[in-house]
Amino acid sequence: MKLLLPLISLLIASAALAEEPAELVELRQAWEKERTEAQAKIDKLYFEELEQLKKNFTQASNITDALAVDNVIKGGDKADNEPVELTKVRLARDKSLKKVSKPLDKRYWQDLLLLKDEFVKAGDLAGVVSADAEIKKVLAAYKKPEAPKQVKTTGEENPLEGTWIVTLSPGQASTTYKIKGGDIKVIKSHYLRVGDSAKMKKYKDGWIVNFEHPLVQNRPITEYFHLEKDKLTVHHWTVNQNPEAGPHSHTATVIEVEDDKEQ
């Protein structure tokens, strides 16, 4: 049964091989003890709730979910299809852990800052280095992850590259596009000029394209391409309508084809 929090394990595993200052070791041990005791109280309630949940599922003849809960009680890995009730209990436990751990970590961090100052005043370089390393490890657990980099729409990094057959409505004639880098080309269409090309512009979670109207100047046809779970979706707006001004008029079904099968 895993009771120690990952942060404690990280600090212990990454401790310097050289002997650390006794003051730092003592401070860390006191912090670890407080954290472990706080987690033990939360886990006691957590496992009591799991046992009750397993019993409820069993009494309802829901053996599959009962086994899923029993697996968690025994320390098994989280299943992809675990019951919602189990997920709620797990999330509640995680929330409680964060609530009790944060003030303990904050106080430990403040104590480390004071200890570092004492080492500085004493001219203890090894102590300063050790305390500073410990401070960085504590803060690392609360560092926000970096935002994912936006996909470029030029060059060879566009994930939409390929040939796509788009149908705006069932039974309606299809349109075939070829996308390469930041460019999109009309291969086949009943409402766009075949051979026309346009630049794809990053817009919200996807890419927006303005095609020239084949019959009317200054009345672009706007389409919005974006990926949903690795599947391309195309939203189509009525002629000359600003995408930010209202909902799209059609959502297309899309099929990817091999490049050597262009139509």
**pLDDT tens readout for residues 246-256:** 555 555 556 66
CA pair distance 162, 24, nearest whole angstrom? 58
**Is 237 or 205 the better-scoring residue by pLDDT?**
205
Q: What's the number of domains the chain is made of?
A: 2
pLDDT of residue 163: 79
CA pair distance 164, 150, nearest whole angstrom? 23
For 61, which DSSP code?
Answer: T
Reference 261, options 168, 163, 192, 125; nearest CA is 163
pLDDT of residue 116: 93
Q: What average pLDDT does range 152-165 have in this prediction?
A: 63
CA pair distance 191, 198, nearest whole angstrom? 15
Regarding whether 208 and 98 lie in a shared domain, the answer is: no
| The two three-digit tokens of residue 54, written as one number | 């397993």
Regarding whether 169 and 239 lie in a shared domain, the answer is: yes
What are the pLDDT digits (tens) for 3-34? 445 555 545 544 444 588 999 999 999 999 99
Cα radius of gyration rounded to whole Å, the chain:
29
Q: Which of 21-35, 72-86, 114-128, 202-216 has the lowest mean pLDDT?
A: 202-216
pTM to 2 decimal places: 0.48
Q: Report helix, strand or coil for 58.
A: helix
- The percentage of the chain sitting over the pLDDT mark of 90, rounded to a whole number, equals 36
Find where tokens 């053996």 sit. Answer: 63
Give whichever of 34-48, 133-147, 219-233 has the largest mean pLDDT: 34-48
Regarding whether 27 and 134 lie in a shared domain, the answer is: yes
Q: Give the DSSP letter string of 88-127.
A: HHHHHHHHHHHHHHHHHHHHHHHHHHHHHHHHHHHT-HHH
Helix axes 22-59, 6-13, angle to 10 degrees: 140
For residue 151, tell me if it sits in a domain. no
Average of per-residue pLDDT values in the chain: 77
Regarding whether 82 and 191 lie in a shared domain, the answer is: no
| The two three-digit tokens of residue 30, written as one number | 């006191």
User: Is 185:200 a contact under the CB 8 Å cutoff?
Assistant: no
Regarding whether 212 and 112 lie in a shared domain, the answer is: no
Regarding whether 217 and 180 lie in a shared domain, the answer is: yes
**Is 33 or 235 the better-scoring residue by pLDDT?**
33
pLDDT of residue 128: 92
pLDDT of residue 216: 63
CA pair distance 76, 78, nearest whole angstrom? 7
For residue 1, tell me if it sits in a domain. no
Reference 155, options 178, 131, 179, 135; nearest CA is 179
CA pair distance 222, 244, nearest whole angstrom? 11
CA pair distance 82, 76, nearest whole angstrom? 12
Range of the domain at 182: 162-261
pLDDT of residue 192: 75
